[in-house]
Amino acid sequence: MDIKRDGIANAITQDIKLTGEMIASIDYKLSGDKLTAVIGPAAKEAKIVKNRWNTAQFSHYKRESTKVRKKAAQWNLMKAWWAEFGTAGPIEQQPMPFMNPAFYKNEAQISAKARRAQAMILKKASS
């Protein structure tokens, strides 16, 4: 998807600080049925959970080697949140949106891909 490329380009263009690993973690992940997507920093570490809210969450890992990955993913997500929406309080930072513009730029492509997946599922279910 182009959203990964556009999100990284927006972050670099805006010279967002604290980025290193955060920029490298920008990606997307589709649910097994391809009807839900998580897009942005640390997306590959998200566990897409189907429930009544159709939400995604970060997996809880049991092994020590994967806990580090989870903590790193959560830290990258927080850095992205601070950059995207800004911060208040003792350390103020103006918002520097980089993922929302990338999403809106690629929204038609993302919607088309989801519609194709839905059509395939419906065709398979009806046959």
- 8-17, 66-75, 115-124: which has the minimum mean pLDDT? 66-75
Percent pLDDT > 90 in the chain is: 1
Domain ranges of the chain: 2-126
CA-nearest of 28, 11, 14, 29 to 80 is 11
Residue 15, pLDDT > 50, answer: yes
- pTM score > 0.75 for this model? no
Q: Which residue has the higher pLDDT, 107 or 57?
A: 107
Tens digit of each residue's pLDDT (9 = 90 or more) over 69-103: 577 777 777 788 888 888 877 778 888 888 888 88
Q: For the stretch 1-28, what's the b/e string if a residue is b when 16 or more beta carbons lie within 10 angstroms of its beta carbon?
A: bebbebbbbbbeeeebeebeebbebbbb
* pLDDT, mean over the chain: 76
